[in-house]
Structure 1
Amino acid sequence: MDAKPTPTRCFEGSERAADFIARVQEFIRDELQPLAAEHGITHESGAPRALLERVWKRSRDRGFYGVTLPEALGGAGFALVDHVLIKEAIYASGSPFAAHVLGELTGPPRVGALARYATPHQMERFILPVARAEKAICFAITEPEAGSDAGALQTRARRDGDDWVLDGVKRFISGSPFCDFAVVIASTSEDPAVRETTAFFVERERQGFTVEAGYKTMAGQSHTGNIVLEGCRIPAGNQIGERGRGLALALGRITVNRVLHCPAMLGLARLALDDSLAHAATRRQFGQPIGAFQAVQHMLADMATELAAARALMLGVARTLDSGAEARAEASMAKLFCSETAFRIADRAVQVHGGEGIVQGSRVEFLFRLLRMYRVLTGTSEIQRNTIARELLGAAVH
């Protein structure tokens, strides 16, 4: 029995997005995969900053890196439907550089929404260097006592003449080990009982700015760290937008961002399904491929069906947002369903692979760990359920 790919589909996006995907897949296949092999880079081993810079700049040169930026800054102006399809294809490639092709971890997607708040000085100092793949940035919100309750910040920023002085600890900050500067959300209230948050650009080179890295996530990745701020003094001109609007600025695109996390999960889930199909076709037991056994067939059928359902929800919500409609509940539904579904697919993939699926170093074992994390990252499943219920009950009251 020959391995067969998952069923082909009609492309749901624009012709321009289809062309972009074809070109980015060629870039990953012809340049990034050989680069990863040459340097022994895997999802878990990670890449040094110098090598990541090569990826960022080459992606920029090929016209991929800044695609998510506002059109005024050179972005492509893709609809959200196109964007999720592009991102899904990148992650489905299996490249350990997937998060760096568009600069998602430390690049343009981190600053695009900030451009409208940035002063001319901030555009030159922070936004444009990131857009040009010259500098890396991270977003620092989470703290030891402020995770799901993002407003419970303990990091303080106090005004001192023409400066702000920051003190506090930011935890689990993606991209911090190789950032050049961070967007830090801090409390600027003089009364600890009053929640007032403000956003700041903070350069890593500032005295009192320390990155504590070295720990790994359960997926074995080490691109996360803590940022410790101890009397870190920055000029008042580093304040982003209005005082007291820090969380609103940081979370202003939260509905869209929740949808944009879905294609990464589903691209990885497709990898797990495709690997399982190939394994079922080649692994033989009792004189025949295991794909001939109904128990395995049913697992594969469930994996493919749930993946199709999750994609349909993701694309439906993306279309709703493209139309200009509000979709807060629907975006949370997509994040909830896609993260839970992707993990179930990875779990079944391990089962299909049997002993090979539980050995570290096999791809489905890694995908199992990585996709388990997505049920926590960027808003837990429980927080998504809270949002959905709040929106439903609010609509019912009105």
Structure 2
Amino acid sequence: MDATITPTAPPARFEGSEAAAAFIAKVQDFIRGELHPLAVGHGITHESGAPKALLQQVWMRSRELGFYGVTLPQPLGGAGFNLVDHVLIKEAIYASGSPFAAHVLGELTGPPRVGALARQATPDQMERFILPVARAEKAVCFAITEPEAGSDAGALQTRARRDGAEWVLDGTKRFISGSPFCDFAVVIASTSEDPAARETTAFFVERDRPGFRVEAGYKTMAGQSHTGNIVLEACRIPAANQIGERGRGLALALGRITVNRVLHCPAMLGLARLALEDSLGHAARRRQFGQPIGAFQAVQHMLADMATELAAARALMLSVARTLDGGGEARAEASMAKLFCSETAFRIADRAVQVHGGEGIVQGSRVEFLFRLLRMYRVLTGTSEIQRNTIARELLGAAVR
């Protein structure tokens, strides 16, 4: 997939605030005017990712323009957007088609990873960890998943034991997004003295400490290489690196899970919009039997279904965002949004491949890449099956209350 930037038509009615609309316009200018030439000049695509030095340029420039820390709490420089504005901003960024989309707001290794930790961080941790990320000086990753702890996040085998004024960590974290670029990781480890008991604690762990190793080099099915394993072998950190209370690690990590599930939706839908727009363009250009293929009812029906399902998924996403903005809990609804948006986005990409025919199955075409990437979202950040479990649990719980 190349670095072509797709000019996306805005919705007939913008659902967010005037401030969000203005912010999106500025971000789109940044993507078109600076990030697109940067990607082309360095040969950066979604599958031939940028080295860290180049990403640092993107992070710093985004911060200079006021984009990078937009999701942080306002005292740290955040813009104070509500969730509806946030999902619309994120959707617009991903719908641009830029290979730097995940770096404009710092989603992979930046402020969104630590914003919720600011309330738990000590003054020392603010200076050493939170503020350097907010200033785009350091990159962070969040390390929970392990070979035997995926959907069951509490079944952690990575252990942290107290040794005087230090903690000693041993274990392996797997499939950690952003780990190849990180300067430090937020690691969730078991601190229970009884292996059968579940007690987890969170720690800041610097990459340059002895016993910390990143094993990267493998790629996802979408061809991306920004994921790796973190291996901890007798890695010693000061007790001051513990985040929050002992035994509250998973609670801290998952404390915003409802909001985070909604925040995964705009990326999927922005990418699905790309697939739809590429299909509309192809249907108008590609000719068979003396006319554009868009004149055939079979193609028209696929396009109509794609547009209808995209509209339905966006409506659900925005509805849940409004509920959360209004103070509602919406745990089941957030899982519904993640489930429906990920499944819908993949169906749209699947139809996009069908509309493109032979061109759609050739590696290097955008819809072929989107098909692979959107297939991954049905697994990432909570599988569709886990979302169904959550929905059913909430529904059944409500029925007996």
Calculate the TM-score normalised by the size of structure 2.
Answer: 0.97
Find the aligned partners of 2:207 and 2:174 in 1 and give their Cα distance: 15
Alignment check: 8 A CA contact 2:142 2:187 kept? yes
Q: Quote how far apart the aligned CAs of 1:7 are.
A: 13
Distance 1:33 1:286, change over 3 A: same
Q: Quote how far apart the aligned CAs of 1:2 are.
A: 23
Unaligned runs of 5+ in 2: none
SS at match of 2:187: strand
SS at match of 2:16: coil
Alignment check: 8 A CA contact 1:2 1:281 kept? no
Q: Quote how far apart the aligned CAs of 1:267 are.
A: 0.1
Q: Quote how far apart the aligned CAs of 1:124 are.
A: 0.1
SS at match of 1:16: helix
Q: C-alpha offsets along residues 70-127 of structure 1, whole Å, 9 cap, x if unaligned?
A: 0010000001000000000000000000000000000000000000000000000000
Q: C-alpha offsets along residues 153-191 of structure 1, whole Å, 9 cap, x if unaligned?
A: 000000000000000000000000010000000000000
SS at match of 1:320: helix
Q: C-alpha offsets along residues 346-373 of structure 1, whole Å, 9 cap, x if unaligned?
A: 0000000000000000000000000000
Alignment check: 8 A CA contact 1:350 1:364 kept? yes
Q: C-alpha offsets along residues 367-389 of structure 1, whole Å, 9 cap, x if unaligned?
A: 00000000000000000000000
Alignment check: 8 A CA contact 2:118 2:130 kept? yes
Alignment check: 8 A CA contact 2:84 2:318 kept? yes
Which aligned pairs between 1:1-398 and structure 2 lie closer than 5 A?
10-398=13-401
Alignment check: 8 A CA contact 1:201 1:238 kept? yes
Alignment check: 8 A CA contact 1:199 1:245 kept? yes
Find the aligned partners of 2:382 and 2:223 in 1 and give their Cα distance: 21
Alignment check: 8 A CA contact 2:160 2:169 kept? yes
| Pairs aligned (count) | 397
Calculate the TM-score normalised by the size of structure 1.
Answer: 0.98
SS at match of 2:322: helix
SS at match of 2:213: strand
Distance 1:2 1:113, change over 3 A: closer
SS at match of 1:316: helix
Alignment check: 8 A CA contact 2:6 2:95 kept? no
Q: C-alpha offsets along residues 42-72 of structure 1, whole Å, 9 cap, x if unaligned?
A: 0000000000000000000000000000001
Find the aligned partners of 2:162 and 2:264 in 1 and give their Cα distance: 36
Alignment check: 8 A CA contact 1:3 1:277 kept? no
SS at match of 1:195: coil
Find the aligned partners of 1:109 and 1:326 in 2 and give their Cα distance: 21
Q: C-alpha offsets along residues 284-306 of structure 1, whole Å, 9 cap, x if unaligned?
A: 00000000000000000000000
Distance 1:299 1:48, change over 3 A: same
Q: Quote how far apart the aligned CAs of 1:6 are.
A: 12
What is the percent sequence identity of the aligned residues? 90
Find the aligned partners of 2:212 and 2:70 in 1 and give their Cα distance: 31
Q: Quote how far apart the aligned CAs of 1:279 are.
A: 0.1
Find the aligned partners of 2:325 and 2:43 in 1 and give their Cα distance: 40
Alignment check: 8 A CA contact 1:143 1:154 kept? yes
Distance 1:132 1:122, change over 3 A: same
Q: Quote how far apart the aligned CAs of 1:3 are.
A: 20
Distance 1:236 1:3, change over 3 A: closer
Unaligned runs of 5+ in 1: none
Find the aligned partners of 1:340 and 1:149 in 2 and give their Cα distance: 22
Find the aligned partners of 2:50 and 2:355 in 1 and give their Cα distance: 31
